[in-house]
Structure 1
């Protein structure tokens, strides 16, 4: 057994302190928001509420969920996340499988064109005009179609598909299986770790996305929950209006509300679902990315 020198001990101590500082810096903003969300609004305005709520209350969350708009915003976000993830994984994996086959005609040309899009972007105005011409503005599909293919995700999948032994594919062809059958019944079942990683990537993107809704939609029926949050957090009048409306609906708890604590409660309400789900899927994320990158 190797005896640690004083230099090793100092190095380990430094790493421990550094990691503790990073963890604190990462969790502190969320914890302070959580504390404020569970604190009475009137008391929060007095200040000095940092590490624990001084007057614990659920009034802020009741006020947030008393606004029926948030339920429809959740519906839009959940719908775009589920539909977007399924179509993204299906379409990107299909393209990646085709690009991983050496016999694909024009494969190198396709790859160069796709790689070009990773480094050069036309800009917001040309994108807006394109979406207008093809009828995507103010349509739910504006959330789905542009994100169906990711070149980066395709490269990760290609690297993984290339690790599948060629004799397995050849034996399936000998048995009479076509490319689509090989892809669906052979390649996809063997690729679950990388598919789960890509699904997690894309799911977090869809859940947190608001820029596309802000730029390409004007209908309130297409407002996702993150755009609803952004509007409440950045607009003092919107937060004040929510506070006043909630106070009128809950007069007995009106004194426990304030625009600031409502903003914090809204932040927790919109980010909590993805924070709860993410730790359970993280193992697939790490495994899938490592398989898709190291073995490639």
Structure 2
């Protein structure tokens, strides 16, 4: 038995090379994030001298103090949190509801709807027609522009629909025998056994909502309703230190804080929250689809 598990010299070399390659890929992926992090915690003036690669040379929190001293970033953070939470809940529920209907047999015109939805995956109207539609719906300068246009996704519907079709029909039949109607089956039977796909779509859409800067840039002139990523875009787009000091709106900044250090600190502030959320949802990805739903 032990002889069967013994690797040949060629297999051992392949595993070694494969591990080294993956380590290089991981390093190339993680190091830019680490570089931004250590420079965000380093004195801005000192960072301009360069040669900071592994640890902050002059550790300081003044960059983050300058960022959080601006009322604009806190307001933008609240807008981002609100649109992410509301957007995820409404998107997941609405898309799952439509997908459940599409996954049931006997839906009148179901194949036509699938065909029409598939076309939208490859063709779109473009930005100008979309802007005109948003304007006619009176969603310009309106918080709901973050929610309504992305309330439904046909791509996510396909994922939901594929998952729902794998649910044994016996579950629904048993619920109908007990007197449950379609809404009860969807809310009390289908959704509870669909946590893996719900968590997956929630994570995908949550990352989109958190990282979306384009919506706030196109549909809003009022900075009070712009999200944190649009705020970050404006900060990074400003090239001179004088413009950067205007961006932080007169916060308590000394000579050790530079425009570059504020950019890096803002990047860290806007990125870390979604990074911390991911591990809490990851465990649902590996769970069995029907764990606990069928007994004996």
Match of residue 196 from structure 1: 199
Question: 2:58 aligned with 1:74, yes or no?
Answer: no
Q: Deviations over 1:122-164 (max 9, x none)?
A: 1101111111111111111111011111111111111111111
Contact 2:194 2:289 in 1 (8 A): no
Report the counterpart of residue 182 of structure 1 in structure 2: 185
Quote how far apart the aligned CAs of 1:276 are. 1.4
Structure 2 counterparts to residues 179-258 of structure 1, below 5 A:
179-237=182-240, 240-243=242-245, 249-250=251-252, 254-258=254-258
Residue 215 of structure 1 and its aligned partner are, at CA, apart by: 1.4
Count of matched residue positions in the alignment of Structure 1 and Structure 2: 287
TM-score, structure 2 length as denominator? Answer: 0.92
Residues 97-246 of structure 1: matches in 2 within 5 Å?
Answer: 97-237=100-240, 240-243=242-245
Secondary structure in structure 1 of the residue aligned to 2:255:
helix
RMSD: 1.9
Displacement over 4 Å in runs of 4+? 244-249
Equivalent-residue separation in structure 1 for 2:49 and 2:62 (angstroms): 18
* Aligned with 1:9 (options 7, 12, 18): 12
SS of the aligned residue for 1:236 comes to coil
Distance in structure 2 (CA, Å) of the matches to 1:271 and 1:100:
36
Distance 1:247 1:127 in 2: 33
The unaligned stretches of length 5 or more in structure 2 are 291-296
Q: Which moved more, 1:257-266 or 1:274-283?
A: 274-283
- 1:275 corresponds in structure 2 to 275
In the alignment, which residue of structure 1 is the partner of 2:286?
287
Task: Please state which structure has a larger fraction of its residues in helix.
Answer: 1
